[in-house]
Amino acid sequence: MMTIKDTPWTDPVEDNFYYSIFKDKYPVTQGHTLFVPKQDRWYFLIKTLEAAYTLGNKWVEEGYCDGYNIGQNKGEAAGQTVMYPHIHLIPRRKGDMDYPRGGIRHVIPEKGNYIK
């Protein structure tokens, strides 16, 4: 079973009992951040998701970004490349794409706009 010690991430920007936070090596926007639970257990993942959500809300309140996406890739078919749970917090800013409506639906090209 893979543990956080087997992952490629080093140099956390924050670290505690439940999770570590890292800057994404290939950020899709400025501030793209990874939240990695210390154990692959449901309770640790809940704490990790709560932290990502809290930071995203703080960023919006402080004006760092206008919104954010939180996501997790689970399985190779979903694009997961490091087979250990981790959560992406992606800050979004007005104008960072022409038509953001649909949000995470854009993971499948041309499927994000469900109004067409």
The predicted structure's pLDDT at residue 61 = 98
- Measure the CA–CA gap between 112 and 49, rounded to whole angstroms: 24
What's the pLDDT score for residue 116?
64
* Domain ranges across the chain: 9-95
The predicted structure's pLDDT at residue 102: 87
**What's the chain's average pLDDT?**
93
Q: 47 pLDDT exceeds 70?
A: yes
**What pTM does this model have?**
0.93
Which contiguous run of DSSP H or E holds residue 21? Answer: strand 19-23
Measured between alpha carbons, how far is 102 from 115 in angstroms, rounded to an integer?
A: 9
- 9-95: which CATH number, 1.10.10.60, 3.30.428.10, 3.40.1160.10, 3.40.50.20? 3.30.428.10
Three-point CA angle 37, 89, 104, nearest 5°: 115
Distances (CA, A) of 107 to 29, 39, 50, 94: 15, 27, 23, 19
Query: What was the pLDDT predicted at 57?
Result: 98
